Structure 1
Amino acid sequence: MTTPLDHIRNFSIVAHIDHGKSTLADRLIQLTGGLQEREMKEQVLDSMDIERERGITIKAQTVHLTYVADNGETYQLNLIDTPGHVDFAYEVNRSLAACEGSLLVVDASQGVEAQTLANVYQAIENNHEIVPVLNKIDLPAAEPERIKAQIEEVIGIDASEAVPISAKTGLGIKDVLEAIVHRLPPPKGDIDGPLKAMLVDSWYDTYLGVVVLVRIIDGVLKKGQSVRMMGTNARYDVERIGIFTPKMIDTTELGPGEIGFITASIKEVADTRVGDTITDEKRPTAKALEGFRPAQPVVFCGLFPVDAADFEDLRAAMGKLRLNDASFSFEMETSAALGFGFRCGFLGLLHLEIIQERLEREFNLDLIATAPSVVYQIVMNDGSEIDLHNPADMPDVVKIAEIREPWIRATILTPDEYLGSILKLCQDRRGIQVDLSYIGSRAMVQYDLPLNEVVFDFYDRLKSVSKGYASFDYAITDYREGDLVKMSVLVNAEPVDALSMLVHRSQADRRGRAMCEKLKELIPQHLFKIPIQAAIGAKVIARETISALRKDVTAKCYGGDATRKRKLLDKQKEGKKRMRQFGRVEIPQEAFIAALKMDD
């Protein structure tokens, strides 16, 4: 039996990182009896080890809760817990599309942060009703009245009825449930219309094949029904249908407004495109849903196995990860220094770190990542355009008319005392200031910055100059022409392709010097002298030399004629010269990794 529409509430929780989304979700599950006491654990919905260790949410998770309100009515609540990090904004976007309302969680001591703004604006774009919730009011530093004023001033939504809670102690959780029932709108839908369901997410389960998360818009989805994906035109028979409480519970059907899962012996996650419309094979709906725009990778880097024999394992592991993470893309590439590997696309540096860590952990692989780079647009002299993912593939400079690089609009919120050093950091990174305004005692700065400068270590630098208090959010705006050059690194006159990078001409000398100094420390001494050079084209911009290891060939000469010693030394010199011509410099793996982690 499907629940009547006016007794269903679909909502998501949006907030900045660490403001308590997952903890609030725990309390809601506990209070509505979704899990028994013995099954509860901290951050129930963060199921991956990495999520639990780092204390962050990476995948959005769904839960179906049953709540008996104070007025005696029973309501069905569907909650989607979303990530807070900018790298996982696409997860947030598609979760919001499946809901009608959002709980906006704001830390009562920290206030509104950059990511709070970004996620709230996404919710407003999806026409959500928003209920502000002030978390952590049990902290001595909490200032609920000031934060309410701040929410109204910065976001522009009424916060006079914000619900004060402490998700950790469970204070005020009942009020949140009442607010969900009375202040969020029920979904709309037609139970008698043809089936129209949105594919919200899909992932691979070893036992069940592909599990598909759906939100029913119109009609009813039943077990055994024959359905069609309108985007891929594939046909499937529904084998299993159910809800998450967060455990999988089977049901016979899902009605309008409900969120649940189906399995239909689908082999590949690639067959289930997120945002696709699922409809009845025999009685299809006339018009498909809009769907989502696919996630665009922003940062690219090469991943290579330390041991070349692991290449096939790496390919298989990446295929499996791709099953569960639609935004991760990869293609094969080879490198003279590192052998066979893959060029991978990510949504940002945290995404890169998480994927790398999951590959190393879940599949026991040892990996080397090359320097992260962004996608450049190159306009050739004949007017054609190409996208450049890897600096090593850059065409001949003579054929290039212009190189364009991606720029972002960054929003930084910071306490006033760190403003000076943050402005300096942005200026050093070729930033252009767009706006500077104040929210109480905090400054909100907007900068246009080249993504190339942000990808390396901007976030870490920002956190260190602001002692961790600044928050940062960005969106890609456009591509602009820049004076960019390819900097190659030569070791013993041999170019090392894994270390080449595109840099702005003004930064090239500094980057080149830093790279050479770093490599000098990292490459061990050989029996011959090794020059390390950074070059732009044929022009060397920086050089360091690693001196040779010397064997004392004159040790056995006691006194006697100086020419004997001279003769032995000259012979050694000749040998070194010959060695330098034919000798190969072994660059240890650690040197690559350390050189690529270069910070200023």
Structure 2
Amino acid sequence: MKGTYSVSEQTPGLTIPAATDPAVIRNFCIIAHIDHGKSTLADRMLQRTGIVSERQMRAQYLDRLDIERERGITIKSQAVRMPWTVDGRAYALNMIDTPGHVDFSYEVSRSLAACEGALLLVDSSQGIEAQTLANLYMAMENDLAIIPVLNKIDLPAAQPERCADELAGLLGIDPSECLLTSAKTGEGVEELLDRIVAEVPAPAGDPNAPARAMIFDSVYDTYRGVVTYVRVVDGKLEPRRDIEMMSTKARHELQEIGVISPEPTPSQGLGVGEVGYLITGVKDVRASRVGDTVTRADAPAEEEVAGYEDPQPMVFSGIYPIDGADFPDLREALDKLRLNDAAITYEPETSVALGFGFRCGFLGLLHLEITKERLDREFGLSIIATAPSVVYEVRREDGEIVSVTNPSEFPDGKIAEIREPVVAATVLTPSDYVGAVMELCQSRRGRMNGMDYLSPERVEMRYTLPLAEIVFDFFDHLKSRTRGYASLDYHESGDQAADLVKVDILLNGDQIDAFSAIVHKDAAYAYGVRMCKRLKELIPRQQFEIPVQAAIGSRVIARQTIKALRKDMLAKCYGGDITRKRKLLEKQKEGKKRMKAIGSVEVPQEAFVAALTSDTPEGKKK
């Protein structure tokens, strides 16, 4: 677009520079631990730069999903373009607001790849947390300019001096370089915008080279098809030109191109360093892959932009429609959801008890919970999710190695070794709770790798923990033992040999694959007793007695019995010889025995849902 264009009617004269000068572009993201004020700070920036009027403003403006607003957490990173003038020169600031929870760290890594700078936000009442460190290290790996910001200085519990010392020690800077802000009141936001212009480098790229743009996100629009979000690295993309996806060689006409400011605004093209969106009208959700490179079809680039590493799923769960006729709808819903959340992986699988469904991989338990809720809200699907599990590597005695993501895949016969994934976990806690955290980690088969005091009051503890031990309720126990003050971050760290067994649940002698689990040998008995008791309560009584058993191989380790519904056969025998009564009881006994031999146990869907639901409400993990 030639010259400049106006951004908002409410701010006459406020303009964004044309898409031809990379020197006035600043690309940055906000990274922080969960609930440290990223979305609130983004709100104040939108107001200060004038692209959102007071009348349009609402809290968490960039959080577009209902579930984000209800839970108060960011799930999807959002890009927005803002104008800002320093010393009479107009700049274009491209900001990406990122999630803070460890389960959505893949969103953060994609955002960092599209930026040159990062705001490291720290709550001055809580200090540095585990995810603060994890995001900082990711930003350092991407060689980003890091601006330290202390937020919530208006709170009575704020300790900005202590937090500034911690940040300064972490970054090797002077404490005075930490910027003090209050996202709630807007204090320090204008100084922060000035500092972004001064310290974040302008994007580097060749405007005359063949066009290359990196896809960092995409969404599905019912009316317009796939909407792709890109960061232009070299050259320029213009509307009504054919573009090519370099990995698939698919070609499409570019119907619309523009920037998000904060709503989609069409433009005449995107140049070097710009962040915007592309619409080709394609309805096939597989046509746009996160990490792919977009180029012009008439003058294609030779080399792709170095994309992202594919995410490695940490937790697996089977997702099945309650109504089997919804299976095609579930497939389509997962296709569209993966377009918006590239961290989900899935493949079809079949369960004897639950029918056709998908084995899905997630980055964590909260990621699984959010995905289930989005499938329900956005696509209207009623689903069952089986108990979460991780990937085990089983080596048989004949040397064959089997990868097991589902207990039903566990091989029969003699096993030489089972290896389970482990994670390197970082726990930050006040020094008063060191003993409680140690006790918890040791009870989960953890191995301590080190402990450092960040300050006299705060301790960083590093553990190696089996992934299977932390995907259920570890986070809740950690919070309760430390009164909510501890924080957790973890990443994959290889595997280790472990003494694991497969526990099968049998109903009337028949194995129910949906209830099987791979657990540590020491926890097998407790799991078997818990599941047998739960199923005894949930399964309705039948005309015959039903044994509910937990077994390891052929050895039963726990049993409950669902009593038979009995009819009083002696009600009419109010007199006469005892042999008459005995004859009737023997006849009833034979009938029950025959019924048990040929009868099948019907497990209602409600029982499956209740038995497979974790006792821990993941939604509380904030």
TM-score category (smaller protein): over 0.9
Find 2:595's aligned residue among 579, 584, 589: 579
| Residues 573 and 467 (structure 1), Cα distance of their counterparts in 2 relative to 1, 3 Å cut | farther
Listed as ranges, the matches of 1:233-382 within 5 Å are: 233-382=249-398
Written as runs of structure 1 = structure 2, the 5 A alignment for 1:41-440 is 41-69=58-86, 71-154=87-170, 156-398=172-414, 400-440=415-455
1:73-111 deviations in Å (ceiling 9; x for gaps):
211100001111111111111111111101111111011
Q: CA deviation at 1:597?
A: 3.3
Q: Per-residue CA shift, 1:95-144, capped at 9, x if unaligned?
A: 11111101111111011111111111111111111111111111110010
**Pairing partner for 1:29 from 27, 40, 46:** 46
Shift of 1:12: 0.2
Q: Are 2:238 and 2:268, in contact at CA under 8 Å, matched by a contact in 1? A: yes
Instruction: Please give the alpha-carbon distance, in whole angstroms, between the structure 1 residues aligned to 2:458 and 2:588.
Output: 67
Q: Deviations over 1:569-598 (max 9, x none)?
A: 333322222222223223232332332235
Read off the aligned partner of 1:227 and give its amino acid letter.
I
Q: Percent identity?
A: 56
Single out whichever of 102-111 and 429-438 deviates more from structure 2.
Answer: 429-438
* Structure 1: gaps (5+ residues): none
TM-score (norm 2): 0.92
**Is the CA contact (8 Å cut-off) linking 1:413 and 1:444 kept in structure 2?**
yes
Kindly provide the amino acid, as one letter, of the partner of residue 425 in structure 2.
Answer: A
Structure 2 residue identity aligned to 1:427? Q
The answer on whether the counterparts of 1:404 and 1:479 sit within 8 Å (CA) in structure 2 is: yes
Q: Does residue 16 of the first structure (1) align with residue 33 of the second (2)?
A: yes
CA-atom RMSD in angstroms: 1.9
The 2-side partners of 1:17 and 1:332 are apart by: 34
Secondary structure of 2:472's match? helix
2:523 to 480, 492, 507: 507
Q: Post-superposition shift, 1:157?
A: 4.9
Deviates more, 1:505-514 or 1:221-230: 221-230
- Asked whether the equivalents of residues 215 and 230 of structure 2 are also in contact (C-alpha less than 8 Å), the reply is yes
The amino acid that maps onto 1:550 is R
1:530 aligns with 2:530: no
- Taking a change above 3 Å as real, the CA distance of residues 205 and 296 of structure 1, as seen in their structure-2 partners, is same
Distance change >3 Å, CA 264–CA 599, structure 1 → 2: closer
Q: Which stretch shifts more, 422-431 or 454-463?
A: 454-463
Cα distance in 2 between the residues matched to 1:561 and 1:308:
56
Q: Return the alpha-carbon distance in structure 2 between the equivalents of residues 154 and 161 of structure 1.
A: 13
- The separation in 2 between residues aligned to 1:317 and 1:188, in whole angstroms, is 38
Shift of 1:150: 1.5
User: Which letter does structure 1 place at the counterpart of 2:42?
Assistant: A
Aligned counterparts of 1:157 and 1:500: Cα–Cα separation in 2: 53
CA offset at residue 156 of structure 1? 4.3
Report how many aligned residue pairs link the two structures.
Answer: 598
Report the alpha carbon displacement of residue 387 of structure 1 after superposing the two structures with TM: 1.9
The alpha-carbon deviation at position 560 of structure 1 amounts to 4.5
Distance 1:323 1:278 in 2: 16
| C-alpha contact (below 8 Å) 1:117/1:155 kept by paired residues | no
The one-letter code sitting in structure 2 at the alignment partner of 1:201 is D
1:485 correspondence with 2:501: yes
Amino acid at match of 1:29: L
CA gap of 1:311–1:225, structure 2 versus 1, over 3 A, is closer
Distance 2:531 2:614 in 1: 7
- 2:476 equivalent among 457, 460, 467: 460
Contact 1:515 / 1:598 at 8 angstroms: preserved in 2? no
SS of structure 1 residue aligned to 2:273? coil
The CA deviation string for residues 532-577 of structure 1, in whole angstroms up to 9 with x for no partner, is: 1111100111112222333322233335443333333333322222
Offset at residue 525 of structure 1 (A): 2.6
Gaps of 5+ in 2: 3-18, 617-622
